[in-house]
Structure 1
Amino acid sequence: MKQPAKKKPTRREWTPADLRVLKRHSKDRTPVSKISKEMKRTVGSLRQKALGLGIGLGHQR
């Protein structure tokens, strides 16, 4: 039996609206897992973007 092909992840650009949402969540100290579900992005991608912007992410900082 052949394994089903894995779906290749597609990269999505960060829109100015996405960045506003991320910064708002940073200020509100929303847990990263919750942000991930809302924005449909991985925890890793959110953390990388936050690091690049110089903002903290998650409730433990």
Structure 2
Amino acid sequence: MAKKAKKAPKNPVKKTAKKSAKGGAEKKDGRSNPRSWSKDDVKQLKTLIKQNTPTRLIAMKLKRTEASVRWRVHSEGLSLRPTNRSPRD
């Protein structure tokens, strides 16, 4: 006869979501909850876009990812393309 395998005892302690350094709760798959965009964040984003700041630098200044910056720019109907300026300006 085959021996029955013993089951490991269940862990009574439930695992909870860890708090990330940003203050949002981290999900089990490693992603964090997105931070909402405040009016000041959007205002600063528009200012940085007008100054032709690179996307990576905008993301660093706003403490967000490049993807979230690109998504917000698109949802606001803005463009990250640099404005064409004549060489004499």
- Please state which band the TM-score falls in when normalised by the shorter chain: 0.7 to 0.9
Query: What pairs up with 1:1-61 in 2 under 5 angstroms?
Result: 7-57=30-80, 59=82
User: 4+ residue stretches of structure 1 with deviation over 6 A?
Assistant: none
Please, what is the CA RMSD of the aligned residues? Answer: 2.2
Gaps of 5+ in 2: 1-27, 85-89
Give aligned-pair identity as a percent.
28
Task: Say which SS state the counterpart of residue 53 (structure 2) adopts.
Answer: coil
Q: 1:58 to 1:7 in 2, by over 3 A?
A: farther
Q: TM-score, normalised by structure 1?
A: 0.77
Q: Partner letter of residue 51 of structure 1?
A: H
Structure 1 position 11, deviation (Å): 1.0
* Number of residue pairs the alignment of both structures matches: 57
Instruction: Point out which structure has higher relative CO (alpha carbons under 8 A, 6+ apart).
Output: 1
Q: Deviations over 1:12-48 (max 9, x none)?
A: 1100000000000111110011111111111011001
Gaps of 5+ in 1: none
Rg larger for: 2
> Would you tell me which structure has more helix in proportion to its own residues?
1
Q: Residue 31 of structure 1 contacts residue 58 of structure 1 at CA under 8 Å; is this kept in 2?
A: no
Task: State how far apart, in whole Å, the 2-side matches of 1:60 and 1:36 are.
Answer: 19
Q: TM-score, normalised by structure 2?
A: 0.55
Task: State how far apart, in whole Å, the 2-side matches of 1:38 and 1:32 are.
Answer: 10
